[in-house]
Amino acid sequence: MALVDRTIAELIATICPTLSTSGASDIYIDIAAEDTDATFFGVYYNYAIALRAAHIYTLDVTRANGDAGLITAKQEGKLQVSFLHNMNRQSRSDLLMTQYGQRLHALIRRLGPIASVSNSSFDLNTGVFLSADEDYR
């Protein structure tokens, strides 16, 4: 069976077993589906949702206290973590913060660029459409 023939639940069980057994996978799938465009991802839609759900779940578990930004340094003795907060447009996406997000980012890059008849711009860094009045600089 090919990747594109797998269900979202099968994909999550394989790529992020902790989400699969968390009891909250349906909620994370719903959240991920809200930000994932079926037209853009086509046959990879289920895979994109699974990756985004795993990404969001991982951020929620590993950054439950609200830490933001790309991790730029870690230290074990007296635990120290440094974050990059001044992210430019190229690195603004939180997708780079987890292995699942990085896979999704690579998939978005592989499938783009796209043509659109919408009045909204499509952000290749996040894989979502930006509203027409959103300031994204």
Query: pLDDT by residue (tens digit) across 114-133?
Result: 454 555 566 666 666 565 44
Cβ-in-10-Å burial (0-12, 13-18, 19+) of 91 comes to middle
CA distance 70 to 124: 18
Residue 76's H or E segment, with its range, is none
Output the pTM of the full model: 0.67
Give the per-residue pLDDT at 89: 38
Q: Which helix (H) or strand (E) holds 75?
A: strand 70-75
pLDDT for the residue 4: 87
In the chain, the percentage of residues whose pLDDT exceeds 70 is 62
Q: Place 91 in a pLDDT band, splitting at 50, 70 and 90.
A: very low
**Three-state SS at 37:** coil
Q: For residue 29, what pLDDT is reported?
A: 97
Predicted confidence (pLDDT) per residue in 31-68, tens digit: 999 999 999 999 999 999 999 999 999 988 887 665 55
Domain ranges in the chain are 3-128
pLDDT for 129 equals 59
* Structure confidence at residue 87 (pLDDT): 44
